[in-house]
Structure 1
Amino acid sequence: MNAFRRALTAFLLAGLLVAAPVAAAPPERVLVFTKTAKFRHDAIPVAVTTLQRLVVDEGMAADHTEDARVFTPENLARYRVVVFASTTGDVLEDAQQAALEAFVRKGGGFIGVHAAADTEYDWPWYGQLVGAYFQNHPPGLQSTQVQPEKDGKPVGPRWPITDELYNYRANPRGQVQVIATVDEREYDGGTMGTDHPIAWCHAFDGGRSWYSGLGHDAAVYADRHFIAQLRGGLRYVSGRSDDC
């Protein structure tokens, strides 16, 4: 009888172990950073909300901060992706910069939106991470066409955009994979000529980086083409896709 009870107990325990739910892995996290030391964009709250929604759609979790003290090796280890959304000026101290460098070198992903290119001019590594520094922009919002491209060739139809259109200090083509250009013939104040990249991506220093110069105007965050562009960037830098 005792042997029977022992066998029954073992059988029931085995059944409980099989039926026990397996704890789900915690979602990968994205840090959205919007600290500004110079010009501050009115669209930042909309940018944050849009990015948070895209992150959740991809099954990840998003944290938003303007506190540069979160840039420590220990804290950044919690994240898969760091986003600089219209940051401006000198936003990180030396130790915080070193933490971001280490994060990328361990395979972390980086997204820069609009004024991320107007950030950290005295940090060469950051300039290489983003791909190009902001030079200037024509006055006001202007309209043009965005031409998607892949492998240096136009793909798909152009789509209209009205936004603040950055000129960059140097054309990043050759250092990055350009994924979209704008047509300077359709607006005033472009200085980059017939080849004006506005969005790009690249593998960099062990991680992945993606940037779009669009996103100055809040209305842009309701544009389905721009949303698709951001989604592609998020999927690329998080390793969900090799196509940015």
Structure 2
Amino acid sequence: MAGPALLVYTRTTGYRHDSIPAGIAALRALGGFEIHAREDPAAIEEPLDRYAAVVFLSTSGEVLTPAGRERLTAYVEGGGGFAGVHAATCTEEDWPYYGELLAARFAGHPPVQPGRALVEDRDHPATRHLPPVWETTDEWYDFSASPRPNAHVLLSADESSYAGGTMGDDHPLAWCRTQGAGRVFYTALGHPAEAYADPLFLDHLRGGITWAAAAR
């Protein structure tokens, strides 16, 4: 029996991640969800109430029409779940509401390299399965400001474990928050295709998306 439906939106008008197909395949393989993967802006203009959550998977640039923005706003404010993965913070940069929704904007990154992620919440579904110090390889996003004032941080970066971080001691990587009646989850991880074969990362995604989808 199919589980709750997710709209996995992967439109890009900027940089396109080679890992998007691996991400879609991984979400399908997680089980428990019926995945509707779409690229066209019409996907967000259509009624969204049938979805437990909308997932922006490494979207980039301006990816929504004015009608899509209105539809997404009403959906989240009315109790819909939203999850952003990796480059979702490089998206809709001229739409203030979207910046508030995700609570942070992408500012840059050093080269892909190994580093350490520190779990801040040992009880949340997105992080409770992780070791307290998670050693992984990814593209360690920096943000223009910490989302901490407006979000509950789940995972942060240990900048001493890799080269090129710019945020210092307060460098969130994954967080969650509420927006209206909806729930929002974001993880900065997920750049390399190999991430989507990592059981720890897959459990991180499953937990975060499941938490966001539970609002409906």
- Which of these residues, 17, 22, 26, is aligned with residue 46 of structure 1? 22
Deviation for aligned residue 1:130: 1.3
Deviation for aligned residue 1:53: 2.1
| Corresponding position of 1:125 | 97
- Which of these residues, 96, 113, 129, is aligned with residue 85 of structure 2? 113
Distance in 1 (alpha carbons) for counterparts of 2:28 and 2:102: 21
TM-score (structure 1 length as normaliser): 0.81
TM-score (structure 2 length as normaliser): 0.92
Larger Rg: 1
Percent identity (aligned): 44
- Which of these residues, 55, 60, 74, is aligned with residue 83 of structure 1? 55
Deviation for aligned residue 1:95: 1.0
Distance in 1 (alpha carbons) for counterparts of 2:180 and 2:78: 9
> Quick one: which amino acid aligns to residue 22 of structure 2?
V
Distance in 2 (alpha carbons) for counterparts of 1:145 and 1:188: 11
| Corresponding position of 1:19 | none
Alignment of 1:9-24 (within 5 A): none
- Structure 1 stretches of 4+ moved >6 Å: none
- Which ranges in structure 2 are unaligned for 5 or more consecutive residues? none
Matched, 1:30 2:6: yes
**For this pair of structures, how many residues does the alignment match?**
210
| Corresponding position of 1:168 | 143
- Which ranges in structure 1 are unaligned for 5 or more consecutive residues? 1-23
Contact 2:52 2:214 (8 Å CA) reproduced:
no
Distance in 2 (alpha carbons) for counterparts of 1:167 and 1:62: 30
Deviates more, 1:155-164 or 1:116-125: 155-164
**Secondary structure class of the residue paired with 2:47:** helix
Distance in 1 (alpha carbons) for counterparts of 2:3 and 2:159: 42
Distance in 2 (alpha carbons) for counterparts of 1:51 and 1:134: 24
Alignment of 1:89-238 (within 5 A): 89-138=61-110, 140-150=111-121, 156-238=131-213
Choose between structure 1 and 2: higher helix proportion: 1
> Quick one: which amino acid aligns to residue 60 of structure 2?
T
> 1:3-40, CA deviations, whole angstroms, 9 ceiling, x for partnerless residues?
xxxxxxxxxxxxxxxxxxxxx8x742100000000000
Distance in 1 (alpha carbons) for counterparts of 2:34 and 2:141: 30
RMSD in angstroms over aligned alpha carbons? 1.9
Distance in 1 (alpha carbons) for counterparts of 2:8 and 2:74: 18
